[in-house]
Chains A and B, each alone.
Chain A
């Protein structure tokens, strides 16, 4: 008998999650410094979650998910962060699963979903291209029909974790002569072990290789790997996120940074400095008020409503706050801000530079903050072009 998680009280649900973490998450994987561990580095946790039936919070119970409603899902995400669970490769769970649940055929669901849960398939997301970042609809990686196959040629870039994935969920161009560029884009599921797929990892500012280039050279993809209809992939891709868009605006990153700032400030006696206290108070209340704004949208979801374009304001605020707090850490670090390595803070160390450098990214990915503002200006404020 599957547990009805949604019927549980919030407190019981939290307790159940904590219990699971205490039993199954190895201590060395908690509060990991690495933002994007590879699959193998966190496989123990991934498999444990699956065995316990906690791996996939939002998929329906029928397909092995927990079927959490948005309210419970938010608790799940909150506890995950609070208890220091490591990020797991989550494109399969967060993107492909929901995509297939909404648009996939029964065969596709039956084939792919169990393999995501078992970890046999590790997915990555192939949207961006060298010349198509903010302007994603200009993408050019081409898929041409040849009998039972599409032949794919082109290149993706910034593909997170492509070097540890064996499947890629790619947006490809199947038609060029549409007036609206958003048409003519198709979603393909591509086995990365197919001949002609090549991956090159790219090092980031933190010196880690989280993202990659992925090259396609006459890659033959069976037509049954198409999701939805040919040329209609844009709408498929757009609609996947749904309520999960709220998580782009979640306070998780600034919360982590605030915790580190606290530790550093205590170790260095910074709370005795009125100038620091004043700045700290500003950050603290920004974070506090982000909670209130987040709640305003969370409430909509809890009450069964749908998010509007206005939810983007959370993403802008949280990513900028993350940057301000990590900048504050460098200020507090004083001359220690010269170090790349973690810096001394009492009995431990704080990864001030690591977080500062990391904070550069979220303002860029997931639709850069300028693109979010363009959307808000048009869709919410109704400003003229």
Chain B
């Protein structure tokens, strides 16, 4: 069945797959998702802590910052396994984004504190870097210079883990320069509101109202920030694409199993050619998704920036479309059972939609791909 295939000379990847499967069997993702949804929570704290203990949240951080010092292949395999198991925590947009940014930021006491805390699970560092879209009510975040510190005013949307956060990792325009600052979540002048996410997690909106941040909280400043954020987005996209590939593959498997088992007209419905052809198409789409993830990871280390960027755009687009369309077909092939909340296949569909819409949906990625490819 579809899965990402990387070289794995020392067996690290297969070990990662195994330990992810073990965690998933101890703490089934669908049950966690349902509990989180019922309690309108943003993350499953126990699960998050277990992942930190397993070394997964700081996978990309070097060991001297408290991380596991592993690379993108490992991250992809882990995220794929989380997708399969429907462990629907903000690993990609949260931990991968934050750890990549901190890894690449200049050394400082604050950077080191955040990195170590993120990896160990003692801190929950939530990236708050997206302005409200122009369609929603909210004002872009601005920082004003205040002595050697700053005062933040404005809104940040799509903040994962906003309620549980210990620190927000804020990327903000301060007029003359851009900044990355950390803001303790309890700081006065911060209010968090939430909207229900389709995948069961509450999605935060953080409003800053004259919230002051000292100079000691500055993680990075100046022209390097664009590259810092771009790298963080790239890695988060790869992780999310891999998670989507895992969802896609698992949804195909679940549907094959269901239709082999489900008997109508005296035979398994998987014996009808119309169903078989659909299943073959779904399987093929999942194979393409997995291949696109491997390509994106491999291209990152070949030293061609443009090729690396193109590969990520392609993977995010391919995996988003594959996962959502496979899950739509999967729901249909489950009949009325697929339309229930009780069956997990609908949860896979919802998670696929949420991840596909996170950090660039397929069409936007494809258009960006073509534009970049045509650029001189």
Contacts and interface: CB of A to CB of B under 8 A. Distances in A.
Nearest to A371: B264
A167 to B, nearest CB: 22
Given A134-B265, A135-B265, A339-B197, A334 B340 contact: no
A292 interface: no
Instruction: Name, among B136, B196, B357, the residue most crowded by chain A CB atoms within 10 Å (CB to CB).
Output: B357
Contacts of B260: none
A337 interface: yes
Nearest to B361: A334
A360 interface: yes
B358 interface: yes
Interface stretch (A9-17, A44-52, A103-111, A199-207): A199-207
Interface residues of A, number: 41
Interface string A31-65: 00000000000000000000000000000000000
Interface stretch (B11-19, B73-81, B304-312, B331-339): B331-339
A207 B346 CA distance: 11
B155 to A, nearest CB: 13
Contact of A337 (B198, B266, B349): B198
A16 B288 CA distance: 57
A268 B133 CA distance: 10
Interface in B332-376: 332, 335-336, 338-342, 346, 349-350, 353-354, 356-358, 361, 363-364, 367
A197 B264 CA distance: 26
Contacts of A341: 195-196
A259 interface: no
A364 B203 contact: no
B84 interface: no
A338 interface: yes
A275 B362 CA distance: 14
Interface string B156-199: 00100000000000000000000000000000000000011111
A335 interface: yes
A135 B136 CA distance: 47
A211 B338 CA distance: 13
Nearest to B201: A338
Interface residues of B, number: 42
Contacts of B328: 323, 360
A203 B337 CA distance: 11
B357 A330 contact: yes
A203 B340 contact: yes
Nearest to B137: A344
A203 B357 contact: no
Contact of B135 (A133, A323, A344): A344
A286 B350 CA distance: 27
A135 to B, nearest CB: 4
A335 B358 contact: yes
A339 B196 contact: yes
Contact of A336 (B135, B265, B340): B135
A340 interface: yes
B1 interface: no
Instruction: Name, among B135, B199, B272, the residue most crowded by chain A CB atoms within 10 Å (CB to CB).
Output: B135
Interface in A170-200: none
A138 interface: yes
A204 B269 CA distance: 23
Contacts of A361: 339
A309 interface: no
A36 to B, nearest CB: 13
Contacts of A364: 332, 335-336, 338-339
Nearest to A210: B339
B109 interface: no
Contact of A138 (B264, B275, B331, B335): B264
B357 A334 contact: yes
Contact of B340 (A202, A333, A340): A202
Contacts of B269: 134
Contact of A339 (B198, B332, B356, B363): B198
A365 interface: yes
Interface of A: 128, 131-135, 138, 157-158, 202-205, 207, 211, 267-268, 275, 323, 330-331, 333-341, 344-345, 353, 360-361, 363-365, 368, 370, 373
| A-B complex: 6 closest residue pairs judged by Cβ atoms | A337-B357, A203-B341, A135-B264, A340-B196, A340-B198, A158-B336
Given A132-B264, A345-B135, 11 more contacts: A202-B341, A203-B342, A204-B341, A205-B341, A205-B349, A330-B357, A334-B357, A338-B197, A338-B354, A341-B196, A360-B328
